[in-house]
Amino acid sequence: MKKMQALHRVAILAVSLLLCSAVNAQTVSEEARRHLDRGQMAIEMAKTDGDLSDAIKEFQKAAELAPSWPEPCYSLGMAQNKMERFDDALKNLTRYLQLAPNARNAKEVKQLINKIEYKKEREVAVAKAFELMGSDRADWKKISTVDKGPDKSNGLIAYFNIPEGFRMNKGALEKRNGCYKMWHATWRGWVEWVPVRINGRFFEYTYGYVVNGIYGNKKGYLVQEVKGEGEIISLDPVRTKTVVIDKALGLLTDANELYRFEEKNTTEYVMELRPK
Please say if the pLDDT value at position 93 is more than 90: yes
* pLDDT mean across residues, the chain: 83
Reported confidence tier of residue 14, pLDDT bands at 50, 70, 90: very low
Angle at 143 between CA 137 and CA 149, to 5 degrees: 120
The single-letter code of the amino acid at 52 is L
Per-residue b or e along 124-153, where b marks 16 or more CB atoms closer than 10 Å to that residue's CB: eebeebbebbbeeebeeeeeeeeeeeeeeb
Please say if the pLDDT value at position 51 is more than 90: no
Neighbours of 115 (CB within 10 A): 11
Q: Could you tell me if 88 and 52 are in contact, meaning their C-beta atoms sit under 8 angstroms apart? A: no
Residue ranges covered by each domain of the chain? 2-130, 139-275
**What distance in Å separates the CA atoms of residue 31 and residue 29, rounded to the nearest whole number?**
5
- What is the C-alpha end-to-end distance of the chain, expressed in Å? 85
What's this model's pTM, rounded to 2 decimal places? 0.70
Please say if the pLDDT value at position 187 is more than 70: no
**What distance in Å separates the CA atoms of residue 17 and residue 94, rounded to the nearest whole number?**
27
* 18-22, 28-32, 45-49, 105-109: the lowest-pLDDT one: 18-22
Reported confidence tier of residue 184, pLDDT bands at 50, 70, 90: low
Main-chain phi, psi angles of 257, to 5 degrees: -95, 135
Task: Give the model confidence (pLDDT) of 195-248 as tens digits.
Answer: 999 999 999 999 988 877 777 777 788 888 899 999 999 999 999 999 999 888
DSSP H helices in the chain: 2-27, 30-45, 49-65, 70-82, 86-99, 106-133, 155-160
Main-chain phi, psi angles of 263, to 5 degrees: -130, 140
Q: Which architecture, in CATH terms, is 2-130?
A: Alpha Horseshoe (1.25)
**What distance in Å separates the CA atoms of residue 121 and residue 238, rounded to the nearest whole number?**
15
Choose among 240, 169, 247: nearest CA to 206.
Answer: 247
